[in-house]
């Protein structure tokens, strides 16, 4: 079965050209102008961009939280992703307290199986580090889970001390895994939260005030230092504060192997959202919190300059009318998280490309190519090239749409960008050559998404920090 | 006439994949796996990389110097370039003292016509700035000369004062041109040279000692500041000192629109070459001079991290046995410059990719794609994509070769890398679909190279700093 | 003749203690508690501070300007200084275009003789640099003029190019002189002024808008670099912009021998003063101009942290009703300068000590001790110690006064701080043991002030950068 | 009883003058030239400097360690201090695990009573933080213990987690106490030590290799951040690595209230000492360890520029022949510490003043005045001014002496500076007016030293960061 996308403007991280994409089965067969394929289904891409499907490497679908779960499971979540132009996700499996990594891996495989409509991989969240866990990490790498997330935040839950982090970094270095870190100083934050509650400061905005930018900057710098000492690469998730970006930039200039992602919420929303009337501020309770608008432009600049490498979502939805209400009397009880898996591509096209902050190629790089490289999915995912999976979006850069919970496909009762009109709309979405979104309808089948075994660090081109010499026969898959 | 490059590993700034390139006439028609073209000439690229031809945006061919000329003209120089895997150059036309820009443009067109074997464009060197020159700049932009080079060095020859530089930056901003700068504090250097000669310090190494890294760092910072004040982008040519890179990095972090190139000589050679016996140090007399080896790795890191955007050569050969001898008794009389147009691609593959400092994609970006974008040649040049000129090199990443004046094709009697063995050899070279190098032989015809009208800044994707929004129909040429 | 100051709180750059100061003739004889001197005149300092008289190292008295002169001569200016608690000044003698330094020195000696009521020294402003001027510099040093001021501003008037500055720095290094620099990029400013006038932007605020902070930061960094290259110390006068302070801080951290002064106007006034109604903004036309209030606190912090070493005034008064009106139709014709010699000590006590920004010892250091050290007046001036000149102020730290042109003693028709109430008033002022201000009256005699031959750099403790080892018999004078 | 020191060169942090010091009883009565006091004992200071007695704010006398104690108690230790020109110490009392602060305070009072020959104060080391400890801290402040030391190092012994440190900082801020921190990442170090021992790397040099500079830089930055978040000042003890100084400098430029001390061992000894033959490297086992000589000059520069505020010793002696041998088979068992209380003043005069790195006034400031200010002892201690304690050293800046364990007065069998000849010798030492060292003999009596109740932060001039306005009657004691 062949598909021919005709007359589009094909955009990759490097190139922009008018032409056609020929898909044969699940992969791209050829790129060219005036390609012929008599037996192919033809998709007209005139006045459209043809881009690699987005890759969201930070999602929390069906995530257990206090007896319940984040409101999108792998079915609703990946359908929403597909509507938004994202054709691949990497979700976070979570080690249970005292549990094995294998068990968590199996649990998340079950969560996704039969539901996911796009391809998916897993990171693994570690709640502790020990030699036994280190041994299991190697087994997980063999299963394609090549990245592990640690927290300096959430004492008593996910918090790891510096010694454990340092040992995990050393282990990751040895087995070709990448450590991802949520960098906020959780112990300081706990003290600030306790002080705030003692003062009676219980409203949502105190969530942000008790998680100051310096608490993120400090932890970011610290874990970078641990990574430098371990000789390991590091990936900082959801960098939110310009103060933390300053630390990343300084460390990169010294040669530290540190990469960082930011998320649309830190580019478009700000501290002021916590001031919305009533309890509405709870919609924006996430960690790290929204920051001052005054330094947002620095994040955009970091995306342009290459100091930030990726844009992900930290999609973790909770309903406002129910879940979020748990914290009405105490901000620290508000479930942390917000929806975003569906809006990432349009928001960042609008604010990045349409607003002139960076080129369309850089947009593709930030939302697809670089995440694929960093997390061992490239070149199977993240680009449009012969041999790559035909995860492709036909994107209308001239169309405008207004974001709303009334029309979105995520399973959550509010949208943090409610009412915002953006330029740039994903119209047709292909996953491994199959059209799954067309004319505003989802055409795929739950469970069609496949688990992706990701390559370890240093294999091929997965990591921009890679230092293994090329040989004459670089692998293409 | 069609050509089919089969079974290579095709490498662009973003992608690496096994496959074929189909060329129809002068441009790329298709990329794919298993492409068929019964009527095409087939080039076997098994175990080879297929890369965009290199672009050298800093050459001085047939450059007048004290009554004579640099020893490579557009014929010998572009043949050597082709042997080295470079299929496009941008040479510096030079305003005569008191002369018009038009006249310089015409002179350089004549120099190239009938001789060049690969395509070429021109920058224009300004010796002064005035309203009249500003008016002429716009005319040159219309002719495709969209970048102008200024000097803070060489008082009495090319030196412009800060007021002239600032006005030229403002003018460039208004007409979509890019200012390039040779940044060394020429007035301080003149004083140091005078002091050295007065002390009797006449040997070649005093060339370097009188051009200290801080004189480059100072001028670099200064012109960046002028560009910030003018709201204009800036391109720093031949950045040589880590101290200057520090200034570029700091300014970019502030949001300054500054880009910089370095050259192989600053990555592979060092101050110690000036200590070679006898007068041999004169071979390395160029400006800026070679620097300490101790901080060279910082330049490599800048290339990897994106702080430096391009690698060019500053190719400007003079014979050691004759020209360079002019300065036997006085280093300040040694003609400034050294050959390099032929060795750039292999050297930087060897030191960059084979040595594991950056990926093969980044190498392509630094030597071809980014120069094309910055100087308005993209996407016609600088990539392998449908519609692009078929300037393509079949590169053997496993072959080794030893650099020597005995075997090089440049018209100069020495090679600064004499005896160095490098990994990575351009084997077959195509220019607009025509095989011009094959089996170690040049197959092209002098004069086949064409003049390239370059696009102004802000047109399409020429400039990474571009802030013009994409529309639904991005131009492809 | 002896004088005994009893029961004060004596404050030096290091110490704060309750006690007495015994003066014998012109110098301090003893410090102690309960000192006895039956024959001495007694001054009661109960509830007062006893501090070293202020030293203002940046004044322009009787300065020629367009056929006229700044409105304070050495009589009115030094009387105002004395009222303000300043007992020593260093004024700028100015080389005439083409004139000798000797002639300028003689001219300024004549200006001061018979008029000055406190002791004074001279810096010398160079309009050019040549070997002949270098030779004269050494003669001036022998005469006690051990500092020379250069400009990167005012092209056609005082502007020196980088080569001249570099040579002057080298000469100063060799003869123990200190180069002072007015650091703004005059050539860029000239272009901006021309553009503004061409646009019809003639109001006083365009004076500031055409002298942007980056033009100061650039020149500051540049001259620091030249000083580093010359191996010479450097003193930056009237640093006004936080951007320039950033450059000073960075250079000091690298080991550069750079010192800098700021002035009260940059701590208390701001860009907003240019928005005062009518032509009132002209009162604040000085160079560098007033800056944004937003970054003023950084200057205060620099004073506290030791990044800035001195506070001077750049006192250069012109009458608003007459002189300043010259620029009614063209800001570039407004005489540059404002009065301040009388208000420095109270303003900086108020904003520095009373506002809690730094200690009273640091205030004494910034306004007296450090200027004396830097400019070769210490320990004769700048402290209260046995053997030092009895230049002493009895200062009431609890009194408040309101600044006004109606009550000030400067010969100028406005005061830039009109109406500002400050805490801290100099009450009794002694110069070399003679009470010259008491009960709001001036008791001295014009001409009583003496010329001070200043010591060269590296002699004794003049310079914080001094590296000459102490011997067993450090000189005390 | 009066004493008159005649004809010396009196040096304070601000002043240098030839003259006399009159002492009446325990305090300074007057400073002057030609002072008369017929009944006074006269000490001739011709060709000598008269300086404030040194203050060593970092000592560990009679410190419990593994069942034994550091080898100097308050008698031998303070006698050695006096021989070395130090007349005041602040020693570290140590909370027992689970014990009260009061008990530790009483224990240390008993250790000192009847033994100390110079005046002394105490810091208190916290092993934990809780509300109860916070309450006790206020009681200690009332007893004159106004500084508390915390560790990020030594997990299981002194290590505090970030939450405890943050809460202690907040408490200190509220009660006018100063937090001192030993900043090394102890958890990372523990992991590195474990790795080293597992590899069989047991020699003394692995002590240093397992405590890398970045582990200090990281912890320094981290605790500064916690202090910024708490709004509290911070004092970093024994800063050893230039990488940590970089963090202090950057934070101070941002306005952080951070101060830091270094010690002579980090200025004069280096990593290479660990390579001494046999087990001799154990002599230098201390924490932080000795660092590379290559960056030592940066510490000297920090002392000159004001980025470092004090020089202390971390005196903590253990005998090489016995105590240090505990770690023969395992570097981690070597008692940490080395002697230095006696050599500080001569070493830093030699390397600082005689070598031309800073002025004699800055030397006095670093070794006496600033420590006194920072720790609430000023102006009673730390200067020579009327009313201050007559803790005075007559110092011979021209004499030379060779350091050796054979001649030193410390109770330890080796000297880390063995054989080093230094310029500058303390000859006569007075403590509260009593001559306790003269002609190489100790004349005092054990137990003559008194406990010093230190003032809280913000009282008077104790702290350079003080922001309390001066009133008309600043306290002198």
Quickly list DSSP for D361-390.
HHHHIIIIIHHHHHTT-TTTSSS--TTSB-
Measured distance CA(D457)–CA(D463) in Å, rounded: 6
Mutate to test the interface with D, among C30, C251, C459 (most CBs of D within 10 A): C30
Mutate to test the interface with C, among B161, B174, B218 (most CBs of C within 10 A): B218
Query: CA-nearest residue of chain A to B461?
Result: A359
Residue of A15, A460, A470 with shortest CB distance to B397: A470
* DSSP state for residue D48 in the 8-state scheme: -
Provide, as residue numbers in chain D, all residues whose Cβ is less than 8 Å from the Cβ of A187: 161-163, 166
Looking at the complex, report in whole angstroms how far the Cα of residue B210 sits from the nearest Cα belonging to chain C.
Answer: 10
Mean pLDDT across chain B:
94
Mutate to test the interface with C, among B134, B167, B183, B191 (most CBs of C within 10 A): B191
Q: Do B188 and C217 touch (CB under 8 A)?
A: no
Provide, as residue numbers in chain A, all residues whose Cβ is less than 8 Å from the Cβ of D190: 163
Residue of B188, B215, B229 with shortest CB distance to C215: B229
pTM of this structure: 0.94
- H/E element, D42: strand D41-44
Mutate to test the interface with D, among C24, C386, C423, C424 (most CBs of D within 10 A): C386
Query: CA-nearest residue of chain A to D165?
Result: A188
Provide, as residue numbers in chain D, all residues whose Cβ is less than 8 Å from the Cβ of A168: none
Domain carrying residue C465: 1-470
C7: tokens are 């029961």
Hey, which residues does A86 pair with through a beta bridge?
A: A54
Residues of C with CB under 8 A from a CB of B: 155, 161-163, 166-167, 170, 185, 187-188, 190-192, 212, 214-215, 217-218, 221-222, 225-226, 228-229
CB D151 within 8 A of CB D174: no
Residue of B359, B397, B471 with shortest CB distance to A466: B359
Provide, as residue numbers in chain C, all residues whose Cβ is less than 8 Å from the Cβ of B228: 214
* Ranges under pLDDT 50 in chain C: 460-477
Query: Any alpha helices (H) in C255-309, and if so which ranges?
Result: 264-268, 296-305
Provide, as residue numbers in chain A, all residues whose Cβ is less than 8 Å from the Cβ of D196: none
Hey, which residues does B183 pair with through a beta bridge?
A: none
Q: Do D386 and C19 touch (CB under 8 A)?
A: yes
Chains B and D touch (3+ CB pairs under 8 A): no
Buried b (16+ CB within 10 A) or exposed e, A250-263: bbbbeebbbbbbbb
Query: Any alpha helices (H) in B90-160, and if so which ranges?
Result: 101-112, 131-142
Measured distance CA(A309)–CA(A235) in Å, rounded: 9
Q: Do C163 and B221 touch (CB under 8 A)?
A: no
Asked if pLDDT for residue D116 goes beyond 50, the answer is yes
Residue of A190, A192, A229 with shortest CB distance to D188: A229
Q: Do A163 and D188 touch (CB under 8 A)?
A: yes
B283: tokens are 């071979």
Query: CA-nearest residue of chain C to D257?
Result: C305
Q: What is the pLDDT of residues B131-190, one digit of tens each?
A: 999 999 999 999 999 999 999 999 999 999 999 999 999 999 999 999 999 999 999 999
Short-list C163, C270, A410, A104, CA closest to B192: C163
Q: How many helices (H) and strands (E) does chain C have?
A: 13, 19
Looking at the complex, report in whole angstroms how far the Cα of residue C23 sits from the nearest Cα belonging to chain D.
Answer: 10
Domain presence at residue D477: no
Provide, as residue numbers in chain D, all residues whose Cβ is less than 8 Å from the Cβ of C249: 253
Mutate to test the interface with A, among D188, D221, D246, D256 (most CBs of A within 10 A): D188
Domain presence at residue C476: no
Counting one residue from B and one from C, how many pairs have CB atoms under 8 Å apart? 65
CB C314 within 8 A of CB C339: no
- pLDDT at site B458: 74
* Subunits with 3+ C-beta pairs closer than 8 A to B: A, C
- pLDDT at site A21: 98
Q: What is the pLDDT of residues B18-36, one digit of tens each?
A: 999 999 999 999 999 999 9
Residue of D166, D187, D225 with shortest CB distance to A161: D187
Mutate to test the interface with D, among A153, A163, A168, A221 (most CBs of D within 10 A): A163
Q: What is the pLDDT of residues D284-320, one digit of tens each?
A: 999 999 999 999 999 999 999 999 999 999 999 999 9
C3: tokens are 């004088």
Q: Do A356 and B469 touch (CB under 8 A)?
A: yes
CB A381 within 8 A of CB A391: yes
* Ranges under pLDDT 70 in chain A: 459-477
Quickly list DSSP for C335-375.
PP-B--TTTHHHHHIIIIIITTSS-HHHHHIIIIIHHHHHT
Q: What is the pLDDT of residues B224-254, one digit of tens each?
A: 999 999 999 999 999 999 999 999 999 999 9
- pLDDT at site B470: 25
Q: Do D470 and C397 touch (CB under 8 A)?
A: yes
Q: How many CB atoms lie within 10 A of CB B75?
A: 20
Query: CA-nearest residue of chain A to B381?
Result: A15
Residue of D187, D212, D218 with shortest CB distance to A163: D187
Q: Do D166 and A155 touch (CB under 8 A)?
A: no
Looking at the complex, report in whole angstroms how far the Cα of residue B434 sits from the nearest Cα belonging to chain A.
Answer: 19
Short-list D44, D6, D37, D34, CA closest to C25: D34
CB C431 within 8 A of CB C443: no
D413: tokens are 């069998």
C243: tokens are 């951007």
Q: Do D214 and A228 touch (CB under 8 A)?
A: yes
Phi, psi of D310 (to 5 degrees): -155, 155
Q: How many domains does chain A contain in total?
A: 1
Domain presence at residue D130: yes
Looking at the complex, report in whole angstroms how far the Cα of residue C118 sits from the nearest Cα belonging to chain D.
Answer: 23
Domain presence at residue B475: no
**What pLDDT band is residue D459 in, cutting at 50, 70 and 90?**
low
* Ranges under pLDDT 50 in chain B: 460-477
Mutate to test the interface with C, among B170, B228, B229 (most CBs of C within 10 A): B229
Q: Do D18 and C476 touch (CB under 8 A)?
A: yes
Q: How many CB atoms lie within 10 A of CB D132?
A: 11
Short-list A66, A119, A51, CA closest to A327: A66
Measured distance CA(C314)–CA(C187) in Å, rounded: 22
The Cα-based distances of A320 to A276, A286, A335, C430 in angstroms read: 14, 13, 10, 75
Quickly list DSSP for A97-139.
TT--HHHHHHHHHHHHTTT-SSEEEEEEE-S---HHHHHHHHH
More confident residue, D330 or A460: D330
User: 3-class SS at B218?
Assistant: helix
* CATH number of the domain where residue A45 is located: 3.20.20.140
Domain presence at residue A477: no
Phi, psi of D384 (to 5 degrees): -115, 100
Counting one residue from A and one from D, how many pairs have CB atoms under 8 Å apart? 66
Q: Do D214 and A221 touch (CB under 8 A)?
A: no
Q: Do A32 and B33 touch (CB under 8 A)?
A: no
The Cα-based distances of C438 to B417, C84, C118, C431, D457 in angstroms read: 80, 12, 15, 12, 37
CB C418 within 8 A of CB C404: yes
Provide, as residue numbers in chain B, all residues whose Cβ is less than 8 Å from the Cβ of A253: 249, 305, 307
A435: tokens are 């059209």
User: 3-class SS at D319?
Assistant: coil
Looking at the complex, report in whole angstroms how far the Cα of residue B49 sits from the nearest Cα belonging to chain C.
Answer: 46
Q: Do D354 and C469 touch (CB under 8 A)?
A: yes
* Subunits with 3+ C-beta pairs closer than 8 A to A: B, D
Residue of C155, C167, C222 with shortest CB distance to B218: C222
A180: tokens are 């991802």
Q: Do D356 and C467 touch (CB under 8 A)?
A: yes
Q: Do A469 and B354 touch (CB under 8 A)?
A: yes
- pLDDT at site B66: 83
């Amino acid at each position: 079965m062949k598909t021919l996308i005709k007359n589009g403007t094909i955009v990759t991280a490097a190139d922009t050209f008018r032409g056609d994409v020929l898909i044969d089965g699940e992969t791209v067969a050829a790129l060219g102008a005036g390609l012929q394929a008599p037996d192919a289904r033809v998709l007209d891409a005139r006045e459209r961009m043809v881009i690699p499907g987005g890759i969201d490497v930070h999602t929390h679908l069906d995530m257990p939280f206090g007896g319940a779960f984040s409101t999108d499971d792998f079915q609703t979540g990946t359908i929403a992703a597909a509507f938004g132009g994202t054709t691949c996700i990497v979700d976070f499996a979570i080690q249970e307290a005292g549990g094995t990594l294998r068990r968590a891996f199996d649990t998340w495989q079950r969560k996704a199986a039969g539901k996911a409509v796009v391809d998916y991989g897993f990171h693994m969240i570690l709640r502790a580090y020990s030699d036994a866990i280190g041994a299991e990490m190697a087994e997980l790498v063999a299963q394609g889970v090549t990245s592990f997330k640690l927290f300096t935040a959430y004492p008593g839950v996910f918090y790891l001390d510096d010694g454990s982090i340092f040992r995990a970094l050393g282990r990751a270095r040895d087995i070709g895994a990448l450590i991802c870190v949520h960098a906020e100083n959780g112990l300081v934050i706990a003290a600030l939260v306790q002080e705030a509650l003692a003062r009676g400061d219980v409203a949502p905005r105190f969530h942000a005030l008790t998680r100051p930018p310096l608490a993120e900057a400090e932890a970011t710098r610290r874990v970078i230092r641990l990574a430098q000492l371990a000789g390991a690469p590091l990936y900082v998730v959801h960098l939110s504060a310009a103060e933390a970006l300053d630390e990343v930039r300084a460390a990169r200039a010294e040669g530290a192997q540190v990469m960082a992602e930011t998320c649309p919420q830190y580019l478009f929303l700000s501290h002021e959202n916590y001031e919305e009337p009533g309890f509405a501020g709870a919609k924006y309770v996430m960690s790290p919190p929204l920051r001052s608008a005054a330094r947002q432009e620095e994040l955009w600049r970091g995306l342009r300059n290459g100091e930030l490498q990726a844009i992900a979502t930290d999609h973790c939805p909770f309903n406002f009318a129910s879940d979020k209400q748990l914290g009405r009397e105490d901000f620290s009880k508000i479930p942390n998280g917000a929806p975003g898996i569906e809006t990432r591509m349009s928001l960042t096209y609008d604010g990045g490309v349409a607003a002139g902050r960076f080129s369309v190629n850089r947009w593709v790089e930030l939302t697809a190519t670089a995440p694929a490289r960093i997390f061992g999915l490239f070149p199977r995912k993240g680009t449009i090239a012969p041999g790559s999976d035909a995860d492709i979006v036909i994107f209308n850069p001239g169309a405008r749409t207004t974001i709303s919970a009334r029309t979105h496909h995520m399973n959550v009762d509010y949208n943090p960008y409610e009412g915002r009109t953006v330029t740039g709309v994903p119209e047709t979405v292909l996953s491994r050559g199959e059209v799954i979104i067309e004319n505003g309808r989802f055409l795929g089948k739950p469970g069609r998404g496949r688990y992706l075994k990701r390559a370890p660090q240093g294999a091929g081109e997965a990591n921009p920090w890679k230092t293994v010499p090329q040989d004459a026969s670089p692998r293409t898959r």
